[in-house]
Structure 1
Amino acid sequence: MDLASLRDADFTGLYATADAYDKLWTAFADHTTDWYKGTDQAAHGGGWTGTTADTALSAVATTTNQLNAAEIELGLIGGQLRESADAFQLAQSKLLKALSDAQTQHLTVDATGAVSWSAPDQAQTPDDAATWDAQQKPLATALAGRISAAISEAATADASLTSMLATYTQRATSGAGLDLTTANADQYVANFGGATPDFMSGVPGDKATPAEVKAWWDGLTPNEQQWFMTEHPDLIGNRDGIPADIRDKVNRAYLDKTLNDLASKKKPLSPADQDTYDKLAPIAARLDQDSKIQDGRPHDYLLLIGTDGQGRAAISFGNPDTATDISAYVPGMTTDPASLGPGYGVTDGSNEAENALNTWRAAQAKEPPGRSAASIVWLGYDPPPMPGFPDTNPSDYGAVSKGRAEAGAPAFAQFVTGLRATNTTGQPPHVTSIGHSYGSLLVGDATKLSTRPGAPYSPPDDVVLIGSPGVGVNHASDLGVPGHVWDGAARNDPITYLPSKTNLVTSAAGFVVDPSERWFGEDPSSSAFGAHRFTVNNSSGSGLFGPHTKYLTPTLGGPSLDNITNIVTGHYDQVHLESGR
């Protein structure tokens, strides 16, 4: 490998070859499935017995194993070709950056990678010439080292690719690739036995802060950034610290590809595929709806998407990286991706994406020139089912347990920290965490995590609790943001009256130990809790839970949404307060 070869290389052919092997593998996998269903299962399930049957069934089983082995081997080749192309392209990007820097610094690079500099002006004195050489030598040495390292990376990738291709050629010509044990061993080595690929060497680890992730991303060249977006979107789409517009592009591409792949499959879908579809389709429908409605709504930024647990999604109305006032809203029990789906015309507060959009509209209307709002709905955890209805885990009785909130709190604390890390306004953005119902418990836990001494998280500026059954503390000051905890609780909202376990027991005996103690701690709307309690509509909402879902609606919540967005935009003097319970 030499400088010119790496500099001028075009790797599109290698990527195309990888794609071709993937298509061949897909076709062969279909062939293997057809064989298994049409021959293997039929032969073994037909009740055929006897010596002839034993011989025939053994031959069928051998063929099945050979087909499975060949399928495994074919499936490995495309991925390993693509990894090699990744390594080549990354090495080329480093080389091109070094050559560009050399040109900027007026240094000359020859065909071998040696770096030199022009002679000093003849009019300079010997001392001046020595100074000039002393200044240029370290620059040249550093650039030569970068060039050599890039060429060395490419040479290593080349040797690895040559060895890999030789191995698979030997497997094919000798027939060893038809041995299932050999194929399984090759798959294990490909998945777990190799060294960390070159393209992964600079990616921040799981414990990196959003600020460190942002610094890494900003340090990449545009070509390198595009390479990660195209070849490894899984590393950046949901990563806090990556700019919002990048996450949006990557996550939309993932969403489109996954749903298109599902659409091409035979129906009915398998249970696993149907589960994936059910988690992703509502989010795609929401994005599609919002892109078509021309009523002043902003662009939707898809900051989180996935199929983990009950489904993951975070949608921002407005760009949080350019907003001065950001709200991050965590909904509560029974929320799932369908709750974030299309919601045009939904006015009762049951659509959580619509609630975030309502927040954006009201907040943006209050912004003076030079300021703007972004409102996010965050579904980065598994909200519990209705109280009293166990979910699939028999040890977790939904909303009566703190487990879901405690599990999701670190992710939300990291997410809020990332909002500050990627903001480009030149001033610290004003960030408000909003928690509704069970989501208020998660917001409380996340805020506590972020305000601990030495915490790796950045706390919000304000915390808004609505329809809360308690947040795990007995006083607002325990959250660590003194003077900036706010609560809205309607008198007809039953969730805000859920008694503590102690009160449930003592009430049966005719007395209550602490009337303001709720299921998850002190009632946030009580005087004893110490939050600022703002006014809401105390009579609207129909049914058992209608009064519980109205806080972020323009009409049913009364002054609630106006008060909340005054907090979001920092207009504290315009928040209408009332006495605690």
Structure 2
Amino acid sequence: MAEPGTGEAGMDFKTLKALKPSEFENAADGYRAMGNMASAAKEHIDNQIAVGMRNSLKGEALEAAQRQLRQLSQNFHYTQVECGLISTALNGFAFDVDAAKKKLDAALEDAGSHKFTVNSDGSVSYPAAGKESDGKKPEGGKADGVTDPTASAVDRQAANFDPNPNFKIAQGIANRIAHALEEATEADEKWAPKLRALKADDDLIVSGRDWVDVKSDTGGVNKAAKDYLDLIKDPPKHGTPKENASWWKGLSEEQRAEYITLHPDSVGRMDGLPAAVRSEANQLVLAETRGAAQGQLNDWLKKEPKHYEPYLNPMTGTTMENVQVPTEEWKRWDAKRKEIQGRIDGMDAIQRRFDTYTGEDTRPYLLGIDNKNRGHAIVSIGNPDTADNVATYVPGTFAKLSSVDGDIRRAQLLQTQAQIADPAHSTASVLWLGYDAPQSIMGEASDTKYADHARQPLNDFLTGIDTAHGGHVNSTLVGHSYGSLVAGETMRDHPDVPVDNAIAVGSPGMGVKHADDLNIPRDHMWAATAKNDLINLAPPKAGFLAPLNPMEYVRLFDDHTIVHGTDPTTDDFGGQTFKVADGKAPGSDGLMPAHSQYWEGKSLKHMAEIVTGGRP
């Protein structure tokens, strides 16, 4: 082999003897430093240069400059990640080959102590020794190392009969040298293709395909570096936020960087870790996930079936001339296309927050992202680790990754209004779409299973925010529609969840009969439902789908129960209420326009007052 890491023909004796694992570790440090510089450059571009331009410039020149800065930021981000992978790969190779190098050095030391000569091919020459015969000692010779177990056994038998005792010793040393060379060759052959794979395209554009390659590279390095990475203490299995935070604090800076590089998805969803750390990891996950989705869409577009077919008149059974309709196969294909595109649009909406924010108080933090099931995203406007107030908004029915733009906008509106309500204190506003929300009103929204699956993750998230925060944070949990059931169940079943205030708007019930069941003071539980919100017509669960006559509706509503418990806006519930506008009439702008109008006007103002510790 010409050079370490080429994977050519195997590691020879001369190369391994001269090899210094520390040189690869030093190279790894160099790449890590380069990655850190790229990270710092990205941070400077995103949080100072781009923000400064957005605050001082307008028009086409600004848009052109911003596009170039976004691309440059992507380049630095890609450089940061790839340098991290190269650093880990070099450290992994140094770790693997160091064991072989130590075995070789020990064998050479033993050979020297016996005054044997180790030849350039790794064989061991030994001098004459043993009982004299005819005035001569048994001649010296050369032992060639073997690693095959059968050959080793034959050599041991031969050594037992050889009159020169040096042969047995030399053979053992030669075998140790052969084993060291074999281990070094295995390390070289394992790492050479991994390092060769960490080669970027020769262009200045970081594409979706590049990010998909990053994910593939990460998997390859992660698998190959298992022994080296085992030196890093694994995070606690199903750890609490406090346990996660303790584990993270126990890692060195280098170990943290390597863990983010190789396990961004794990770090990104680990409650209890600093928001900046999770966001850094999740921005990598976002880039990789979006790249994979774009690749999926590109592949799907190539499968477009026949679009139109002649229209068959169902009355006559004949085709109508010059009338074409979409084929059923094309409709199914197009539905899938729209679904994939919708998820990409949702991820782009998240990225836009990073590309357009104008100040540290509105800086976005990506605390969760994946494209599984209906897609999930957790986005904070403002840093929840340092804010005085944190509002966590849980959306309801129809929420999913493809429609996340509107839900992030609600979080932004609340954060902006909270800063107006209390400019002396900072507020972070979080969209928590960390669950699969129901996607139909009459069917899925009447089932508690979606909330049942969400209450533990929401509890862990809220506890994680409290754990990562430097001191006490005034925490408000905001549930809209079905999201209020998620909030209610979480507070009901986790008495220690760190929530100071709760808000339910457009609620079908919070899974409890009384505000006292939510484990916070009843005067910190607030609810409102607009007059024109059709959620007011929701019957108790027992009659949710049953046809009822007017008198039955009166009987069912007499105890103020609705789909998921007592209506939180009623006196029977025992909490507080605040005034909201009537909202648009049903059908004036969609079926239920008033159900989506809580983030405007006096409703938004009152929610901001609650979030900042006041009373509406």
Deviation, structure 1 residue 249: 1.7
Question: For residue 569 of structure 1, what is the aligned residue in structure 2?
Answer: 612
Deviations 1:138-177 (A, max 9, x none): xxxxxxxxxxxxxxxxxxx9998865767999xxxxxxxx
- Over 3 Å counting, the alpha-carbon distance change for 1:91 and 1:407 in structure 2 is farther
SS in 1 for 2:432: strand
Question: 2:592 aligned with 1:545, yes or no?
Answer: yes
Amino acid at match of 2:487: V
Q: Distance in 2 between matches of 1:229 and 1:309?
A: 24
- Over 3 Å counting, the alpha-carbon distance change for 1:526 and 1:226 in structure 2 is same
Question: For residue 250 of structure 2, what is the aligned residue in structure 1?
Answer: 219
Question: 2:480 aligned with 1:436, yes or no?
Answer: yes
Pick one of 502, 505, 510 that aligns with 2:551: 510
Question: For residue 24 of structure 2, what is the aligned residue in structure 1?
Answer: 9
Deviation, structure 1 residue 508: 3.1
Q: Distance in 2 between matches of 1:204 and 1:437?
A: 36
Pick one of 331, 334, 340 that aligns with 2:395: 331
Q: Distance in 2 between matches of 1:450 and 1:158?
A: 58
Deviations 1:167-206 (A, max 9, x none): 999xxxxxxxxxxxxxxxxxxxx999x9887448523234
Pick one of 495, 515, 519 that aligns with 2:563: 519
Q: Distance in 1 between matches of 2:556 and 2:338?
A: 49
- Over 3 Å counting, the alpha-carbon distance change for 1:475 and 1:244 in structure 2 is same
TM-score w.r.t. the length of structure 1 is 0.60
Amino acid at match of 1:508: N
Question: For residue 384 of structure 1, what is the aligned residue in structure 2?
Answer: 438
Question: 2:474 aligned with 1:420, yes or no?
Answer: no
For residues 66-465 of structure 1, the aligned pairs below 5 Å read: 198-199=229-230, 202-260=233-291, 263=294, 266-268=298-300, 278-288=342-352, 291-292=355-356, 294=358, 298-341=362-405, 351-369=406-424, 371-388=425-442, 397-424=443-470, 427-451=471-495, 458-465=497-504
Q: Distance in 1 between matches of 2:579 and 2:400?
A: 29
Deviation, structure 1 residue 302: 0.9
User: Contact 1:435 / 1:443 at 8 angstroms: preserved in 2?
Assistant: yes
Deviations 1:52-95 (A, max 9, x none): xxxxxxxxxxxxxxxxxxxxxxxxxxxx9998756568999xxx
Question: For residue 74 of structure 1, what is the aligned residue in structure 2?
Answer: none
Deviation, structure 1 residue 527: 0.3
Deviation, structure 1 residue 493: 1.1
Pick one of 516, 534, 537 that aligns with 1:494: 534
TM-score w.r.t. the length of structure 2 is 0.57
- Over 3 Å counting, the alpha-carbon distance change for 1:247 and 1:217 in structure 2 is same
Q: Distance in 2 between matches of 1:313 and 1:159?
A: 48
- Over 3 Å counting, the alpha-carbon distance change for 1:230 and 1:83 in structure 2 is closer
Amino acid at match of 1:9: F
Q: Distance in 2 between matches of 1:158 and 1:285?
A: 54
SS in 2 for 1:301: strand
Deviation, structure 1 residue 275: 5.8
Amino acid at match of 1:489: T
User: Contact 1:503 / 1:514 at 8 angstroms: preserved in 2?
Assistant: no
- Over 3 Å counting, the alpha-carbon distance change for 1:447 and 1:248 in structure 2 is same
Name the larger-Rg structure: 2
Deviation, structure 1 residue 472: 1.0
Amino acid at match of 1:438: Y
Q: Distance in 2 between matches of 1:252 and 1:410?
A: 24
SS in 2 for 1:404: helix
User: Contact 1:352 / 1:377 at 8 angstroms: preserved in 2?
Assistant: yes
Deviation, structure 1 residue 521: 0.8
User: Contact 2:93 / 2:187 at 8 angstroms: preserved in 1?
Assistant: no
- Over 3 Å counting, the alpha-carbon distance change for 1:158 and 1:280 in structure 2 is farther
Amino acid at match of 2:283: R
- Which range moves more in the overlay, 294-303 or 209-218? 294-303
Question: For residue 197 of structure 2, what is the aligned residue in structure 1?
Answer: none
- Over 3 Å counting, the alpha-carbon distance change for 1:209 and 1:280 in structure 2 is farther
Q: Distance in 2 between matches of 1:82 and 1:277?
A: 35
- Over 3 Å counting, the alpha-carbon distance change for 1:318 and 1:158 in structure 2 is farther
User: Contact 1:437 / 1:468 at 8 angstroms: preserved in 2?
Assistant: yes
Deviation, structure 1 residue 305: 0.5
User: Contact 1:485 / 1:532 at 8 angstroms: preserved in 2?
Assistant: yes
Deviation, structure 1 residue 367: 2.5
Task: Give 5+ residue unaligned stretches, structure 1.
Answer: 17-79, 93-156, 170-189, 342-350, 389-396, 452-456, 576-581
- Over 3 Å counting, the alpha-carbon distance change for 1:290 and 1:246 in structure 2 is closer
Deviations 1:339-377 (A, max 9, x none): 222xxxxxxxxx2111111100011122343x2000011
Amino acid at match of 2:403: S
Question: For residue 525 of structure 2, what is the aligned residue in structure 1?
Answer: 485
Deviation, structure 1 residue 496: 3.4
Q: Distance in 2 between matches of 1:260 and 1:164?
A: 32
- Over 3 Å counting, the alpha-carbon distance change for 1:166 and 1:322 in structure 2 is closer
- Which range moves more in the overlay, 286-295 or 208-217? 286-295
Deviations 1:395-437 (A, max 9, x none): xx3111111111111111111111111112xx21011110000
User: Contact 1:506 / 1:513 at 8 angstroms: preserved in 2?
Assistant: no
Q: Distance in 2 between matches of 1:325 and 1:528?
A: 30
Q: Distance in 1 between matches of 2:353 and 2:88?
A: 37
User: Contact 2:293 / 2:344 at 8 angstroms: preserved in 1?
Assistant: no
User: Contact 1:442 / 1:471 at 8 angstroms: preserved in 2?
Assistant: yes
- Which range moves more in the overlay, 208-217 or 311-320? 208-217
- Over 3 Å counting, the alpha-carbon distance change for 1:204 and 1:400 in structure 2 is same
Deviation, structure 1 residue 292: 2.9
- Which range moves more in the overlay, 539-548 or 502-511? 502-511
The CA RMSD over aligned residues, in Å, is 4.1
Question: For residue 475 of structure 1, what is the aligned residue in structure 2?
Answer: 514
User: Contact 1:15 / 1:81 at 8 angstroms: preserved in 2?
Assistant: no
- Over 3 Å counting, the alpha-carbon distance change for 1:86 and 1:422 in structure 2 is farther
User: Contact 1:332 / 1:437 at 8 angstroms: preserved in 2?
Assistant: yes
Q: Distance in 1 between matches of 2:504 and 2:473?
A: 20
Deviations 1:214-262 (A, max 9, x none): 1211222222211112222122012111211122122112222343455
Amino acid at match of 2:389: D
Deviation, structure 1 residue 378: 1.0
Q: Distance in 1 between matches of 2:485 and 2:262?
A: 38
- Identity, % of aligned pairs? 28
User: Contact 1:525 / 1:531 at 8 angstroms: preserved in 2?
Assistant: yes
- Over 3 Å counting, the alpha-carbon distance change for 1:14 and 1:446 in structure 2 is same
Q: Distance in 2 between matches of 1:230 and 1:158?
A: 31
- Over 3 Å counting, the alpha-carbon distance change for 1:200 and 1:320 in structure 2 is farther
SS in 1 for 2:300: coil
- Over 3 Å counting, the alpha-carbon distance change for 1:13 and 1:495 in structure 2 is same
- Over 3 Å counting, the alpha-carbon distance change for 1:279 and 1:206 in structure 2 is farther
- Over 3 Å counting, the alpha-carbon distance change for 1:275 and 1:8 in structure 2 is farther
Q: Distance in 1 between matches of 2:94 and 2:285?
A: 22
- Over 3 Å counting, the alpha-carbon distance change for 1:502 and 1:321 in structure 2 is same
User: Contact 2:389 / 2:427 at 8 angstroms: preserved in 1?
Assistant: yes
Structure 1 segments, 4+ long, off by >6 Å, are 13-16, 80-84, 88-92, 157-161, 164-169, 194-197, 270-274
